[in-house]
Structure 1
């Protein structure tokens, strides 16, 4: 505890200093001279959509030097305080014709109304750089990670992107957590991904296809109730600019990696065609070890087993998303797109077991080789219709999507004890999965003159999945042990209605919502005639209160009720057979867990610093937890241990996090984040062992965990950009052992060439080859220490060429399909 406490104390002193420093730089206001406000809303002339980051400059007519200014928010609104006087007011945006108000006499609060900006075609091909969006944008209700600004992820995948997102962690096996909680809901363009193996699914999408990632830790009623930890929305790139433009990216790396992708679009007055297509060939090598002490019922050592594991992964495939947006009318847009992914690969695992007796004398060596291959195809059609009734946010959106995917995996497993005289055994595994998903959604947003806003909507999610898993012997072709083979049929029907209302009173903003979800899930195990039906319907309230302390700082308090439905490997009874002494199997009888989330947040902006902090409390019932039980089987002297998820009684998490953006110099940007949490779990698990003896495991556990992240981006001489990212994950206790701390450092360099039309970048992932998951496990029959590294250090070189587009183009002509392809409701927090 000493090191975390020292770290927290140091941070407190740092922020006290920054706060004092920032206050010193604040302008001195003469209280005798009362200020007045100049406000308005800036929108795009054709689409009537708000323009975020438009620049407002106010100058005194007697002195051309600007005396005040600002930028518009996400709704296109601005509000600037000045002393009464006569001013010239200029509104500008990249590649748009500016609007200027000359000789305006401002003696009281003045609303300039709605200001429309038209595209300036003559400027579209000029390189005009006014401001560059931060890698991380901090907002009161969410954080937005802009992938295009990050050199570290060039040539990588979605998993690499998520590793750099505030509040998010990705372990060495690719499992994603938000604030340390794995019950996070992942959307792609606002639509849920229901892959049985989410970690593998995220490694199939290249980072170059991603525009940004939204982190929503406490979602409102407009979002799906699922995801106890919150929601991550991965937004893919789409066409934006007038005319024909795009970019081409080629990459190569060590271990052997190749990639080629393109993002193109062609926009006319009525139509916008866009495509994002890429090919990826990627290899990765990993390794691990497990050193175990074998114990008898009296806790005496009866032997030792040292397990060494080496893995090789190959992934190759093509992915594409192509679509067209039709401007049906100046305020009506219809977007249709088709996405297709074809991925293939191989997985080779070699595990060596060296066994020793109680006196640590060598007895024998076994090896187990798993040689597998897999292929998957995904096809999705998505359609979005947006109708803007006016330019004040009154709108209707309708979304439809249908997706189908097929995944086939098989492996040949060879097992042999060296020198035993016994022949090797050969097992084959087959895992075939087919999934179809239909999603329907409509959202209606109605703002009122007083600044309040009403929302309502419906969402239907219908998912069918068939998964057949088989383990057979080469000799007889019959299934080995019934619990290793099964056919899973999973049907999910979710219908949801929601409504919410937001309004402002002076400096307070309120948003209250209620969501109702009706769920029916069938989990059928056809081989064993085990049929499970889950029916439940629930209300999910949400409430948000925001207090604007000033234009630069605000305070928020929020509450929401969430649930986590068991999915993927949690439900699938197919047993992971890569190691025949450490097995994993899903539990089809899992129930959902329900979470009450409370969050108190604070946001403060200075000229060079943006600081966001929150304190949160989460109370979860029927939480998922993993238990390890003895099967009663042995491989040599080694007991076969089976890990499975179960529902525990309760989990309470109390935590704190902060995110800091600091720009000490124009050429130097620093983003940092820090998370800590205390988790208390209460529950027990009772089962019968192989001798029909009832065993009760006390799984009560309390653990303190923390992780931190620092990202620095600096422009060196010769206009070379250098980025350095470091992450540290602190140790934490588990119900049956302990996870040890680990760290990772990544770095990258980039340089613009060919008159800034191209960029060459070089990055190193895991610079010190230190990213290893380390753990200790203590069970009645075995005590073990483990290390595992899924991917070793990687080097990557990429080349990007831009065609008729600027490096820092603003997203000014994004398709209007609900903003971010979100498919998740309409309006924003009021105010």
Structure 2
């Protein structure tokens, strides 16, 4: 590992030195403003293309900001500018007056085009990453990752972010990430559903907030991903249709429509499909005192037909007031066939008995979400805003399972079982935010949030005794979960030309109660906590910036952490919850630096996280049955370094790299057992993008995660490769896409637990996934991909 670490640091140093040498030739900076000729209003996202006057080739490009301004740089004076936007007549500027390496082209006016032109609009890619006061910003360009891709695919190309096969999102290797749309919870922010329906052409930027300020919900120690959507400018009817198929079975069809007028923006999506998700499992449970062993191997499936409808509308009451109402309804019909083979070995490793356990599970899962939002802008400043939103979510599951055991040899297999589950979860989020800039440099934010979560889970287990189903009272109960969180916050920020600081304080009051209705066991928790934050940044030069930050975070136990009931698919490996769990609290410190040049960008960060009441899953062992449940065990102090880089040696080749290393120290005692230990772990990701002739794009991503430890487990290292190829047809209106996830079927999870009296081995593997998709955009829409939502 030392050699790999040294190689990575040496490569980063070479890139940094190379960039510094190139920086000796000061470029020419070109600025200007683009306005609508009739309304005199700024045109956001207008394309600014910089070309060579010698051969008319494209050098680079950018897009205008919200106020219509732009900045672009050139290494030579022999260039021209072309300004274009959908529905407008393009302008070309060839004459420049360079003064002190700067050019100001002034205000440029674009007139609407009276004819609809089927032309190719050249959209250049922005710099991938830039620094803001308390976040890193990934600007979305028209490269492979943003043409015809979904938001989930795009997130997988953001440094520090990973999206696995099931759509689960992690940030710097950790889960629990908050997903926001335009800075708030949204119908579209559900990674298990509608997030897959957001196309990359709808996204302006993705903000990576690894150390959130007090403005944001303190939940989630891994940070926040804020997806900022473009302001829709495509008037008329726009849409896209997509068809996908794959191996294992993964078939879907989706239709997206958008209608924009002066007052209304109507949007919708309809989708349906069927998919399978197989998983191979292998476990070993060994009693080291008696020598007896239980071996189990098998494959389980989650087969699902799904249907999804999204409807929404923006109503522009006037230029300063917008009302939005949107909703999403999804329905899933689920089957879970599985077959697990068991073998019991005696202390002499001789076969004692052999049997199999077959599962047949059927479930229906209705889901709905709705969102009401009101936004008011004020005339004195475009950043002076008032925003109110109300978001409602519901998820239900009506599930029945039958488990049949059959003896192959030896003693009789355990009795047959069946389960019934009736589950419902309702969540409401109300949020009010007010932002007031007092000047170009000073801004005040205040706001509040109220979240209500109500869950009921009716779970029953029955055993077949003498051909009669007898309910197991010890495993049958109704679990009720009710949580209310009220938060209020205030932040103040100063951001000058070079230096900025932002400080904030958030108060959150939590009221949590759980109840096992059959046994009257309850757990009441009522607590209030302060969450301060402090961020500062300094722009050393135009190409080099520094940022430091501190925030306090909380991780509240989820329903499945608290619910004591479990799935009995493998009744020798039982997962259960702990209704007495306490929340984790984390103090997070970071120092980041970023260096950006035309072809190279580097981000180096050092961080430390100190967490108390750490939630760890601990195994207990009895009669060869492994029962693992979450417990609060001690503290964890993690110190790490992260390096992200992008290098584009030419127009057709781009490398994106991500390296993360952390060393952690665990301290804790449970039932007189010490869990003190120190360890480290690291991960890396490299994505290579190649643009071939004939509008063909190729992308390959390799990821590696080192071995790491928990309080009991050792989790093996893992390496896998994903690749994709995309062909654009009809000027980009049609896209043919082929992707292969886990090319060598090496993406797995393997772990071992070795204690004084027992040994446990677990192995799980999803395997290779191949998907072929065809997308077509009509009107002024662009081709997209619809693949349905992630299972729950």
Asked whether the two chains share a fold, i.e. TM above 0.5, the reply is yes
Identify which of 738, 743, 753 aligns with 1:777: 753
Identify which of 506, 511, 515 aligns with 2:502: 511
Identify which of 610, 631, 634 aligns with 1:646: 631
| 1:588 maps onto 2:547 in alignment | no
Deviation at 1:66, TM superposition (A): 13
Aligned counterpart, 1:257: 250
Preserved contact between residue 168 and residue 191 of structure 2 (Cα < 8 Å) = no
Aligned counterpart, 2:787: none
Preserved contact between residue 777 and residue 783 of structure 2 (Cα < 8 Å) = no
State the distance in 2 between where 1:119 and 1:522 align: 61
Deviations 1:783-802 (A, max 9, x none): 1332111x221211110111
Identify which of 8, 15, 19 aligns with 1:18: 15
State the distance in 2 between where 1:627 and 1:172 align: 27
Query: What are the residue-to-residue correspondences of 1:509-588 with 2, within 5 Å?
Result: 509-588=500-579
Change (3 A) 1:659 1:29: closer
Q: Could you say what secondary structure the match of 2:13 adopts?
A: helix
| 1:607 maps onto 2:587 in alignment | no
Query: What are the residue-to-residue correspondences of 1:330-729 with 2, within 5 Å?
Result: 330-390=319-379, 391-420=381-410, 422=412, 425-475=415-465, 476-480=468-472, 482=474, 484-505=475-496, 507-630=498-621, 632=622, 634=623, 639-686=624-671, 696-729=672-705
Change (3 A) 1:192 1:134: same
Q: Could you say what secondary structure the match of 1:302 adopts?
A: coil
State the distance in 1 between where 2:783 and 2:775 align: 14
Deviation at 1:594, TM superposition (A): 0.9
Aligned counterpart, 1:229: 222
Identify which of 123, 136, 139 aligns with 1:142: 136
Change (3 A) 1:398 1:258: same
Change (3 A) 1:378 1:292: closer
Q: Could you say what secondary structure the match of 2:241 adopts?
A: strand
Identify which of 292, 295, 307 aligns with 2:288: 295
Q: Could you say what secondary structure the match of 1:18 adopts?
A: helix
Deviations 1:132-161 (A, max 9, x none): 447964545135485985569989995x77
Change (3 A) 1:183 1:760: closer
State the distance in 1 between where 2:106 and 2:400 align: 61
Preserved contact between residue 593 and residue 620 of structure 1 (Cα < 8 Å) = yes
Q: Could you say what secondary structure the match of 1:20 adopts?
A: helix
State the distance in 1 between where 2:97 and 2:700 align: 50
Change (3 A) 1:682 1:439: same
State the distance in 2 between where 1:447 and 1:193 align: 25
Q: Could you say what secondary structure the match of 2:20 adopts?
A: helix
Query: What are the residue-to-residue correspondences of 1:139-178 with 2, within 5 Å?
Result: 139-140=131-132, 141-144=135-138, 158=152, 165-169=158-162, 176-178=169-171
| 1:282 maps onto 2:275 in alignment | yes
Aligned counterpart, 2:770: 795
Preserved contact between residue 270 and residue 308 of structure 2 (Cα < 8 Å) = yes
Aligned counterpart, 2:744: 768
Deviation at 1:424, TM superposition (A): 6.1
Query: What are the residue-to-residue correspondences of 1:809-820 with 2, within 5 Å?
Result: none
Identify which of 712, 718, 722 aligns with 1:736: 712
Deviation at 1:566, TM superposition (A): 0.5
5+ residue gaps, structure 2, are 785-792
Change (3 A) 1:16 1:27: same
State the distance in 1 between where 2:106 and 2:431 align: 31
Change (3 A) 1:742 1:109: closer
TM (norm. structure 2) is 0.87
Change (3 A) 1:416 1:90: closer
Identify which of 130, 135, 159 aligns with 2:122: 130
Change (3 A) 1:81 1:726: closer
Aligned counterpart, 2:172: 179
Preserved contact between residue 152 and residue 747 of structure 1 (Cα < 8 Å) = no
| 1:312 maps onto 2:287 in alignment | no
Aligned counterpart, 2:789: none
State the distance in 1 between where 2:15 and 2:60 align: 24
Deviation at 1:125, TM superposition (A): 4.2
State the distance in 1 between where 2:392 and 2:608 align: 37
Deviations 1:208-229 (A, max 9, x none): 5454665321111111011112
State the distance in 2 between where 1:478 and 1:609 align: 68
Q: Could you say what secondary structure the match of 1:127 adopts?
A: coil
State the distance in 1 between where 2:402 and 2:197 align: 34
State the distance in 2 between where 1:614 and 1:683 align: 28
Change (3 A) 1:175 1:372: same
Preserved contact between residue 720 and residue 749 of structure 1 (Cα < 8 Å) = yes
Deviation at 1:507, TM superposition (A): 1.5
Aligned counterpart, 1:759: 735
Aligned counterpart, 2:723: 747
Change (3 A) 1:793 1:94: same
Deviations 1:231-275 (A, max 9, x none): 245679996511111111101111122111122101111111111
Change (3 A) 1:150 1:776: farther
Deviation at 1:545, TM superposition (A): 0.4
Q: Could you say what secondary structure the match of 1:550 adopts?
A: coil
Aligned counterpart, 2:235: 242
Deviation at 1:397, TM superposition (A): 1.1
Q: Could you say what secondary structure the match of 1:660 adopts?
A: strand
State the distance in 2 between where 1:88 and 1:150 align: 26
Preserved contact between residue 240 and residue 781 of structure 2 (Cα < 8 Å) = no
Preserved contact between residue 55 and residue 93 of structure 1 (Cα < 8 Å) = no
State the distance in 2 between where 1:192 and 1:579 align: 37
| Count of paired positions | 770
State the distance in 1 between where 2:486 and 2:106 align: 39
State the distance in 1 between where 2:242 and 2:514 align: 43
Q: Could you say what secondary structure the match of 1:22 adopts?
A: helix
Change (3 A) 1:450 1:720: closer
Preserved contact between residue 392 and residue 447 of structure 1 (Cα < 8 Å) = no
Change (3 A) 1:68 1:26: farther
Deviation at 1:750, TM superposition (A): 1.4
Deviation at 1:567, TM superposition (A): 0.6
Change (3 A) 1:586 1:176: farther
Deviations 1:544-581 (A, max 9, x none): 10101122221100111110101131111112211111
Deviation at 1:745, TM superposition (A): 0.7
State the distance in 1 between where 2:104 and 2:441 align: 17
State the distance in 1 between where 2:61 and 2:43 align: 18
Deviation at 1:128, TM superposition (A): 3.9
Change (3 A) 1:38 1:24: closer
Deviations 1:149-184 (A, max 9, x none): 5569989995x7765553244678876543233343
